[in-house]
Structure 1
Amino acid sequence: MTTQATTMTTQEIANRLAELCRKGDYETAQKELYAEDAVSIEPYATPEFEKETKGLQAIIEKGQKWSAMVEEVHGGDVSEPLVADNSFALIMTMDLTMKGMGRMKMSELCVYQVKDGKVVSEQFFM
């Protein structure tokens, strides 16, 4: 008897991503839910980050670089996901102190595309 892995629905992926992000466990979310060839798109390029990051390992490294820039997290929230077919969106808010930049509050719309049960792209709007 063979067992087949069940593919998560877009709603299940959205719920799991929101749950892990609320815990601040972004790397687990990426490793568990993202495709190997996923793409991450920022609103614009900065000296620290390219506008587009390709591949799961590069996305994980980008997240580690971001975490290293954070001095302290004061709070934040992740909305319930809004799901449509193979895409979903979350609103993430963060209150944090960045090293050398002081305390700031950020809010972004995070839009995800899903294919074959994995996140294939994430795009952030501020």
Structure 2
Amino acid sequence: MTTQAIAEKLVAHCRKAAWESAQRELYADQAVSLEPYATPAFAQETKGLAAILEKGKKFEAMVETMHALSVSDPLVANSSFACTMSMDVTMKGAGRMQMTELCVYEVKEGKIVSERFFT
């Protein structure tokens, strides 16, 4: 699968908040996820698909209500792509907040091998 095809599939999954489906279909087993900083809920670096899936489940468990979600069309290069993701979300115990991230992905051999989020 080309980087363009992977980018389009990932964006389509994300627009439906189908994070786990996207990860299972598009990520390499050895993928790495990098957050802008460590938090009590998440490490700054998560290694391996199983750990990334677990991180996604933790995030979903923290969400009380997803009021709005938008994902931009991807900007695609040879082996990487980026998009922005914005969420209007109420987190359990933390209230309602707006979050926007720049999401950058690297692709090798037809799979996403890294994701990195910037605020």
- Displaced runs of 4 or more, over 4 A: none
Select 1:78's aligned residue among 71, 85, 93.
71
Q: Could you report, residue by residue, the CA deviation over 1:44-76 in whole angstroms, capped at 9, with x for unpaired residues?
A: 001111000000000000000000000000001
Fraction of identical pairs, as percent: 65
Select 2:18's aligned residue among 11, 25, 28.
25
Quote the residue 1:60 is aligned against. 53
TM-score (norm 1): 0.94
Matched to 2:8, the amino acid is N
Task: Report the Cα distance in structure 2 between the residues aligned to 1:27 and 1:76, rounded to whole angstroms.
Answer: 16
Matched, 1:12 2:5: yes
Task: Report the Cα distance in structure 2 between the residues aligned to 1:45 and 1:106, rounded to whole angstroms.
Answer: 16
Task: Report the Cα distance in structure 2 between the residues aligned to 1:74 and 1:49, rounded to whole angstroms.
Answer: 22
Matched to 2:29, the amino acid is E
Task: Report the Cα distance in structure 1 between the residues aligned to 2:57 and 2:51, rounded to whole angstroms.
Answer: 10
Quote the residue 1:3 is aligned against. none
Task: Report the Cα distance in structure 1 between the residues aligned to 2:15 and 2:91, rounded to whole angstroms.
Answer: 19
Structure 1 gaps, min length 5: 1-7
Q: Could you report, residue by residue, the CA deviation over 1:24-56 in whole angstroms, capped at 9, with x for unpaired residues?
A: 100000000000000000000011110000000
Structure 2 gaps, min length 5: none
Partner SS state of residue 73, structure 1: strand
Task: Report the Cα distance in structure 2 between the residues aligned to 1:104 and 1:48, rounded to whole angstroms.
Answer: 17
Quote the residue 1:5 is aligned against. none
Matched, 1:87 2:63: no
TM-score (norm 2): 0.99
Count residues with an aligned counterpart.
119
